[in-house]
Each structure stands twice: as structure tokens, then as C-alpha cells.
Amino acid sequence: VDDALSRSRIMDALAKLGGPTERQIAAWKNAHGDDGVHFFVFSEKEIYIFTHLTRSQWSKVKEVMEAMSQKKGNATEADLQEKVVQHAMLWPTLDVNWKYESRAGVLEALYTSIMATSYFLTPQQVMALTGEL
């Protein structure tokens, strides 16, 4: 984390927002692993904390999407993004107001970050991380 996004600066901003404490973050790390709690910062007033998707959560998301497709006729990319973000978000609680009032690109940015931390990678990213011994 570079200086602009230092941990102390993030924690200060979270405190001003009434966000999670060190104790809450430690509990999340205990539940999701030391490398399982991530943050995304749009500004000092808009910070999101999330975890990666597990395989079982991904299965649940796919089941929900299948049910939506059968009910609505088809599920959209935005529906998928919303379900992924809902399953992974730790803080803040995302309500209906957030869904309609947040900036247009927030959902897609969070989705992209969650999918990356869940190891959904492009073939190029996979190959960049693959080596021969």
C-alpha cells in the first residue's frame, strides 16, 4: 500500500465514517484469512471493505442467477455484479438506496476487484503467474 493509501490513513478515514474498528477487522481476518479482507477506496468518504468469494459462495451466486434467468427470462451482467458484490461486501451494508444512488461505476469497479481477489483471472494474468521449475 503506497503512502496515499497507508493503513493508518485508511483507518483514520474509516473512524470518521463510523466504520469497522481494528477489532472488527481482526475478526474478519480470523473468519476469512489473513489475506482475505480487502478494501477499495474511491475517496476518504467512500471506502468499501470486502472479502473474496469462496467456491461455495460462487455456486450460490450462480444458483441465484439461474433462478433469476428462469423467472425474468434472462439475468443481466448488472444482476451478476450486484449479487457478487452483495455476497462479498463486509462494510458498509449496501441498501436499496445505495443501489440507485451510488455513482454509476461503483458497482462495476467493486465487482472487478472482488473477482480479481477471488482469483478469476484472464488467461494473460494466469500465464503471467505461471512458471516452470
pLDDT tens per residue across span 86-132:
999 999 999 999 989 999 999 999 999 999 999 999 999 999 999 99
- pLDDT of the residue at 81: 95
pLDDT at 76: 87
pTM of the model: 0.88
Helices (H), the chain: 7-16, 22-32, 55-72, 77-88, 96-101, 106-117, 123-128
% residues pLDDT > 90 (the chain): 83
109 in Cβ contact with 70 (< 8 Å):
no
Q: How far is CA 108 from the centre of its chain?
A: 10
Q: Give yes or no for a contact between 25 and 15, defined as CB atoms under 8 angstroms apart.
A: no
